[in-house]
Amino acid sequence: MFFKTIDFSKYASIKVGQPTEVLMIEKDDVIPRDRYLIGGANNLLISPTPPPLMMLSKDFAYIREEDDLLEIGAAMPTGRIVSYAKRYNIAGFEFCSKLPGTLGGMLAMNAGVKAYEIFNILESVQINGQWIEKEKIEHSYRYAVLGGVATAARFRKRSGFDEALLKELLSLRTNQPTDPSAGSAFKNPPGDYAGRLIEAVGLKGYRVGDMAWSEIHANFLVNLGKGTYEEAVTLLELAKERVSEAFGVILQEEIKRL
């Protein structure tokens, strides 16, 4: 183990935060129970007073094939997973091209795009050193209870990387803002879209300081310069309040506040 100072105003995808000491976990280390595990910080909103943080080192960024299984370390970036699948004609990982970050982050929130999500193709997860079958892990839409630190996952190999599907999924990015954000701020409620609801209550493009609800997609909280945690929280709470009053819908945050 060793400490590394990470400046979240540069590292986090939403560019909010400050230099913070993060404990880096190496292979064979005993993983602490009193720290919050972060990955690529693509759906995180770091406060001025975050809890003690830790991160998996490059020791956990690997892909290994064993018989008909593909084992991937939790620190492996999604882009490299897609590149590997494409190179070796492995099906099922095309949707990862739409999702930034690492495999660990995808597992922690059952990340996905439309009907595609990581638990659909998952076989088992290594949690606190033990392999656990996915059926024994509580999960649903954008939700998973790992009950510990995931360091790797296994997938059943299927041949046939789908280039057409890859292009289709990548084309979905055209309706997403290019400003720094943490991805979708809220989960889509059953039968509806968080972005539609936020727009319907007049918040699309609404700005507080340097944080705003994007004018391109209302469910994206974007940083227009030097946005702060407090400004972001103000907008999150305002959206929840207005949508609840107007539609009786309680929006659930997909973004993680630390």
The pLDDT confidence band at residue 167, using thresholds 50, 70 and 90, is: confident
The pLDDT confidence band at residue 173, using thresholds 50, 70 and 90, is: low
Helices of type H across the chain? 8-11, 78-87, 103-109, 118-121, 163-171, 194-200, 229-247
Catalytic residue check, 230: no
* Angle, vertex CA 118, rays to CA 116 and CA 122, nearest 5: 125
| Catalytic site residue from 124, 181, 184, 214 | 184
Query: How confident is the model over 62-85, as a mean pLDDT?
Result: 94
pTM of the model: 0.84
Looking at residue 203, what is its pLDDT?
A: 98
Looking at residue 88, what is its pLDDT?
A: 95
Catalytic residue check, 184: yes
Looking at residue 99, what is its pLDDT?
A: 78
- Give the SS3 label for residue 49: coil
Catalytic residue check, 242: no
Determine the Cα–Cα distance for residues 213 and 226; give it in Å rounded to an integer.
Answer: 15
Burial class (CB in 10 A: 0-12, 13-18, 19+), 114: exposed
Q: How far apart are the first and last CA of the chain?
A: 22
Determine the Cα–Cα distance for residues 251 and 107; give it in Å rounded to an integer.
Answer: 22
The pLDDT confidence band at residue 169, using thresholds 50, 70 and 90, is: confident
Residue 97 has pLDDT above 90, yes or no: no
| Catalytic site residue from 142, 158, 196, 207 | 142
